[in-house]
Amino acid sequence: MAENLSRRSVFRASAGAAVLASSASASPLVATPAAAAPAVPQTGSAGVARRTAAAGPARPDAKTERRVRKLLARMTVEEKFGQLQQLTWNPDTGPGEGQNEAAREAAAEGRLGSVLNITGAKECNELQRYAVEESRLGIPLIFGLDVIHGFLTTFPVPLAQGASFDPDVVTRDAEVSAREAASWGVHWTFAPMADVSHEPRWGRIAEGSGEDPYLTAQLTAAKVRGYQGEDYAADGRLAACVKHFVGYGFPEGGRDYNTVDISERRLRDMALPPFKAAVDAGVATVMASFNTVNGVPAHANRHTLSAILHEEFGFDGFVVGDYNGVQELIPHGVAADGADAARLALGAGVDMEMVSTTYADNGKALLESGQIELERLDDAVARILRVKMRLGLFEKPYTDEDGEIAEPTASTRRHARETAAACAVLLKNEEHTLPFGKDTSSLAVIGPLGDDTQELHGTWAGPGARKFPAVSVLEGVKKAVPDAKVTFARGCDVTGDDTGGFAKAVAAVQASDAAVVVVGEKASHSGEAAVRSDITLPGVQEELIRRIAKTGKPFAVVVLAGRPLVLSGVVKQAPAILNAWHPGLEGGNAVADVLFGKVNPGGRLPTTYPRAVGQLAVYYGHENTGRPYNPDDKYTSKYLDLPHGPLFPFGHGLSYTTFGYSGLELSEKSVSARAVREGGAKVEVKVKVENTGRRAGDEVVQLYIRDKVASIAQPVRRLRGFERITLKPGEGRTVAFELGADDLGFHTNDPQGELLVEPGEFEIYAGGSSEARLHTTLTLT
């Protein structure tokens, strides 16, 4: 208290002039006012703006702006509303039927701006011809698709990629995916998903980078760079769409689409930073989210869309609504009918309407009655035209039909395999159960996902998932130890209560030196509208593990899932657990690489693993409460029936080697808060990390801070830096981080986005998880 009162000076700034979070810019910790850090637009060969990746929000270049204005001046009101309409394509019926026919007609009449879910260079070109060659102004359509973690080559689900703690890993997926999808006529991906979430019941946690805003911001920006490159007009690139704006990851009860009531400061400190990072990385578009934000649906939310996204972040691309999201303002209870929904959504800042047609149906009348302003309509159209011009669509509306990529290549498969191995997290490894020796003479592969080639692709996989079966764990194991006797017994299904296969599974284990039990979730258990109230292993899989444990044979459990599961029961039984997520096309090979030690696991958990569903929400960056947990004091914050804390903390992951930390040092022990806030002063943090074991391995060096006393209670820890490094046995390296205003500051509930950097003490922790012990103190004066 005394310390709190002694704080005389508090440095304030509105977020309009402050970077909300350290973005993934080249110098991520520099607190440069956003308005002063525009990208430098240069004119590219196609006459479109070229941007330096991650140089700040894209800024219009004069030539593109002139073109936009000229075209806008020629457009009728119908054509303007046409640009704001996106319709979906039905790949099953093909052109000439139902909704596809409607899309062709609208394209030919200049009443359509975009189509989603259409793929194939030929099919895309055919539809594009209606817009380009038949419509009055020939404005090309932009084709969008959910390219989430691969197109032909499936990479691990995004949550898995979060576990890599490696922006390069994420970029590589985006680059491969962009190349494949672009060759099929796709211009625009509805990715990355930047929704931070504390909710493992929520199936869409699979699509994001986990619970931490800093990690998510870094990886979101890396993904944007991967899809878009320096210039998304270039061949093999896609325009990206960061989604879902905003707060979608905090639904009550974890139920998809559900209410989100989030304080302004949490919105700004937890949900918004990844979106800001995406805008700073030059993301082309943003998608609005289905949820309400403090009572106002995101599709009708002027505060988030206009005040924050447009004005504070300086975003000049366009906002697309989510599927029917504008129409859904009616059941939300804020719009009386379609006209009302259109008025609210367009007024708030949704530029393009996905699938529902309230803009097209009501726009003209709303304009005539003054309920929509022409200026806002023109702004929405200009935003869409700007992105189409930046994409080079006017110069190159068609895709080369001979250039369509047919299948994953050896090189993309290698990337997928390396990525899946890099994302695997070794949760437990008692008595060095893993890695199995290459000399293993017999091994039993057990479990319902042991020979699976489909579920491994995970949720939201691309068209490749239907054509190219994933490498199963069984196949990967057989290839890794070709001389061993490998037997397989499923034991049970992923779901259901049939234990009829247990006896055969147990016999197979008894007849082998060791076993791998491959369990988890189906692809359909996570993703959109895939919410589970019980996130333990489905069916009788846990019972299967119990039976295997009784054999006394060494075994490892491999968990394949799209969310953090409650693994308390598994931890009790299994000597070793490898969490390999839904690992994608090369999953089985990657798992085998880790099981047999070809790859030393280096993934770390991007979310906290709960002990029980009843413990949710459990996340590392919580506040302390006035009665923090104390085992000896009943009246402290805890559960009567659960040990305190998570099963596995955020950032946790084991290795086949060990790492030691020492020499945590600050460039200055004390620095003025004013210098940090206003002068851009930074404190350098250094720590020495050493491989103290006998194998080379990857360590994710993590930096956390705790603001001990602040005018608003702060999280007990906040991740503010990480670096994945590879060290040989005995090798040491000093890793350096910088802390600036974004790291040491926080937001208040002020809707203007006030960022405070307050004097006081900060604990600075470095180590291999969110429970790192090594720490020092920084004082802001």
What residues act catalytically?
Answer: 322
C-alpha to C-alpha distance for 655 and 657, rounded to whole angstroms: 5
CB 607 within 8 A of CB 650: yes
Minimum Å gap between C-beta 41 and ligand BGC is 28
Tokens found for residue 395: 């110069």
C-alpha to C-alpha distance for 77 and 337, rounded to whole angstroms: 22
Ranges within 74-133 binding ligand BGC (CB under 6 A): 116
- What are the DSSP E strand ranges found in 581-682? 659-666, 670-671
Q: Which of 746, 671, 683, 673 is nearest to 715 (CA)?
A: 746
The contact pattern for ligand BGC, residues 434-473, with x = CB under 6 A and - = no contact, is ----------------------------------------
Minimum Å gap between C-beta 323 and ligand BGC is 4
Q: Name which of 307 and 319 has its Cβ closer to ligand BGC.
A: 319
Question: Which letter does DSSP use for residue 239 in this model?
Answer: B
Q: Name which of 323 and 704 has its Cβ closer to ligand BGC.
A: 323
C-alpha to C-alpha distance for 498 and 538, rounded to whole angstroms: 12
Q: Name which of 240 and 382 has its Cβ closer to ligand BGC.
A: 240
Asked whether position 255 contacts ligand BGC by CB under 6 A, the answer is no
Q: Name which of 322 and 475 has its Cβ closer to ligand BGC.
A: 322
C-alpha to C-alpha distance for 112 and 115, rounded to whole angstroms: 8
Minimum Å gap between C-beta 72 and ligand BGC is 27
Q: Name which of 322 and 690 has its Cβ closer to ligand BGC.
A: 322
Of 61, 146, 452, 690, the residue at the interface with ligand BGC (CB under 6 A) is 146
C-alpha to C-alpha distance for 697 and 282, rounded to whole angstroms: 34
| Alpha-carbon dihedral 200, 201, 204, 206, rounded to 10 degrees | 40
Question: Which letter does DSSP use for residue 454 in this model?
Answer: S
Rounded to the nearest 5 percent, the helix, strand and coil shares of the chain are: 35, 20, 50
Minimum Å gap between C-beta 299 and ligand BGC is 12
Longest CA pairwise span in the chain (Å): 80
48, amino acid identity: V
C-alpha to C-alpha distance for 160 and 712, rounded to whole angstroms: 33
Classify 121 as helix, strand or coil.
Answer: helix
Ranges within 663-722 binding ligand BGC (CB under 6 A): none
Minimum Å gap between C-beta 357 and ligand BGC is 16
Minimum Å gap between C-beta 207 and ligand BGC is 7
Paired residues of 725 in beta bridges: 699
Question: Which letter does DSSP use for residue 49 in this model?
Answer: E
Minimum Å gap between C-beta 460 and ligand BGC is 8
Ranges within 14-33 binding ligand BGC (CB under 6 A): none
The contact pattern for ligand BGC, residues 194-233, with x = CB under 6 A and - = no contact, is ----------------------------------------
The contact pattern for ligand BGC, residues 357-396, with x = CB under 6 A and - = no contact, is ----------------------------------------
Asked whether position 243 contacts ligand BGC by CB under 6 A, the answer is yes
C-alpha to C-alpha distance for 495 and 522, rounded to whole angstroms: 9
CB 18 within 8 A of CB 315: no
Q: Name which of 188 and 704 has its Cβ closer to ligand BGC.
A: 188
Of 175, 322, 521, 743, the residue at the interface with ligand BGC (CB under 6 A) is 322
Ranges within 630-659 binding ligand BGC (CB under 6 A): none
Q: Per the omega criterion (within 30 degrees of 0), is the bond before 435 cis?
A: yes
Please state the length of the chain.
Answer: 781
Q: Name which of 166 and 322 has its Cβ closer to ligand BGC.
A: 322
Q: Name which of 324 and 433 has its Cβ closer to ligand BGC.
A: 324
Minimum Å gap between C-beta 588 and ligand BGC is 28
Count CB neighbours of 663 within 10 A.
Answer: 13
Q: Write out the DSSP string of 226-237.
A: HHHTT-TTSTT-
Of 528, 665, 723, 763, the residue at the interface with ligand BGC (CB under 6 A) is 528
Of 188, 190, 250, 609, the residue at the interface with ligand BGC (CB under 6 A) is 190
C-alpha to C-alpha distance for 492 and 519, rounded to whole angstroms: 10
Q: Per the omega criterion (within 30 degrees of 0), is the bond before 531 cis?
A: no
Of 155, 323, 650, 661, the residue at the interface with ligand BGC (CB under 6 A) is 323
Which residue lies nearest ligand BGC, judged by its C-beta?
190
Site size toward ligand BGC, by CB under 6 A: 7
Q: Name which of 211 and 322 has its Cβ closer to ligand BGC.
A: 322
Q: Which residues fall within 8 angstroms of residue 597, CB to CB, at 6 or more apart?
A: 434, 435, 436, 438, 656, 695
Minimum Å gap between C-beta 566 and ligand BGC is 26
Q: Name which of 190 and 250 has its Cβ closer to ligand BGC.
A: 190
Q: Write out the DSSP string of 290-316.
A: SSEETTEEGGG-HIIIIIIIIIIT---
In the complex, the residues that contact ligand BGC under the rule CB under 6 A are 116, 146, 190, 243, 322-323, 528
